[in-house]
């Protein structure tokens, strides 16, 4: 497992260093959100495996997690665990459930353990109650690898994200038209307490920017605003904590949902990329905001309805 500090194996596809983008391995993905793909993989970390599932926050972001399915019959489950202990030491966490009524089920995990290597790579092991059928054969359990250095993973995008924040701050210094709306439910909250806030924004929601002070100071916890720069060319949606610039590839579709009361009380909502606001059914504030958004050039309004069941 000495090479886990540098990267990960994907069978015949080869060895990939940490930082490899998902679309460099699996090109042509059109979705912009979380993505995963399972590849045939016969060996990894010295174990006989069936497959490797790679996952990333977006196709154009680095692969952060790999899940290997361990081949049943190649080694006993106790042997897999023992080998990992020899290599990595005692696990940081371990959970056992070998005596429940489901302990012989392939859908049940009887042992789960985690380690962190000296290089900060997270390693996990799940052992199933019985061999689990997969598309590549029967698996006795799963072996996980994770790249936890989020700052390093996000580094290629941090400069652009900071520049986008600076541009929004300049827009707010001499803002043009501002329309404010108040809701009774919730708006997109901030993440100020997240120690990896900037890295997570760059990796998961790069369109989500910080709300500039001149705008934030005019908004309460359940308020949001539609506002433009002085020229009226750049439009934004803001809560007190977060802002998006409208009209970009990921912020041009405005999804409006009207959920009528049934078992629940119903709701109205606006979603634009990673930004959202919620209110009660037949909310005047939501409808007024939708009418205002319809006047912004370059946006598409998409309505949906249903019942709160």
Confidence at 30, pLDDT banded by 50, 70, 90:
confident
Residue 188: what pLDDT? 87
Give 60-92 as a DSSP string.
TSB--EEEEEEETTTS-HHHHHHHHHHHH-S-S
Average pLDDT over residues 31-45: 92
pLDDT at 278 over 90: yes
Domain ranges of the chain: 2-148, 156-308
In the prediction, which pLDDT does 1 show?
58
pLDDT on residue 58: 95
In which band, very low, low, confident or very high, does the pLDDT at 40 lie, cut at 50, 70 and 90? very high
CA distance 113 to 203: 27
Can you tell me the mean pLDDT for 26-54?
A: 93
Which range, of 23-27, 72-76, 204-208, averages the lowest pLDDT?
72-76
CA–CA distance from 24 to each of 21, 38, 197, 198 (Å)?
5, 15, 26, 24
Helix (H, G, I), strand (E, B) or coil at 289: helix
Helix (H) or strand (E) holding 147: strand 137-147
3 state DSSP class of 36: strand
146-167 pLDDT, tens digit per residue, is 999 999 999 999 999 999 999 9
How large is the average pLDDT for residues 237-241? 96
- The per-residue pLDDT for 192 is 85
Greater confidence (99 vs 243) lies with: 243
Instruction: Please check the confidence at residue 99 and state whether its pLDDT lies above 90.
Output: no
Task: Return mean pLDDT, the chain.
Answer: 95
Predicted confidence at residue 102, as pLDDT, reads 83
Provide, rounded to the nearest whole percent, the portion of the chain with pLDDT above 90: 89
Tell me how far apart the alpha carbons of residues 169 and 106 are, in angstroms, rounded to a whole number: 54
Confidence category of residue 31, pLDDT binned at 50, 70, 90: confident
């Amino acid at each position: 497992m000495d090479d886990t500090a540098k990267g990960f194996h994907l069978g015949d596809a080869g060895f990939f260093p940490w930082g490899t983008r998902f679309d460099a391995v699996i090109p042509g993905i059109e979705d912009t959100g979380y993505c995963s793909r399972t590849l045939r993989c016969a060996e990894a970390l010295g174990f006989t495996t069936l497959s490797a599932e790679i996952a990333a926050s977006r196709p154009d972001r680095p692969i952060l997690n790999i899940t290997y399915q361990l081949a049943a019959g190649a080694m006993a489950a106790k042997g897999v665990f023992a080998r990992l202990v020899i290599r990595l030491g005692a696990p940081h966490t371990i959970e056992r459930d070998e005596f429940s009524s489901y302990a012989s089920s392939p859908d049940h995990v009887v042992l789960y353990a985690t380690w962190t290597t000296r290089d900060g790579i997270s390693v996990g092991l799940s052992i199933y109650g019985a061999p689990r059928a997969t598309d590549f054969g029967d698996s006795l359990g799963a072996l996980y690898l994770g790249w936890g250095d989020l700052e390093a993973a996000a580094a290629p995008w941090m400069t652009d994200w900071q520049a986008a924040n600076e541009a929004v701050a300049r827009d707010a210094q001499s803002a043009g038209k501002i329309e404010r709306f108040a809701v009774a439910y919730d708006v997109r909250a901030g993440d100020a307490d997240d120690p990896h806030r900037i890295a997570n924004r760059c990796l998961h929601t790069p369109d989500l920017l910080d709300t500039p002070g001149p705008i934030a100071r005019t908004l309460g916890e359940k308020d949001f605003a539609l506002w433009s720069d002085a020229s009226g060319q750049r439009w934004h949606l803001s809560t007190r904590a977060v802002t998006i610039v409208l009209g970009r590839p990921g912020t041009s579709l405005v999804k409006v949902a009207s959920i009528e009361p049934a078992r629940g009380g119903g709701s109205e909502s606006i979603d634009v990329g990673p930004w959202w606001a919620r209110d009660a059914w037949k909310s005047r504030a939501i409808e007024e905001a939708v009418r205002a958004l319809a006047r912004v050039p370059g946006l598409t309004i998409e309505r949906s309805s249903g019942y709160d069941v």
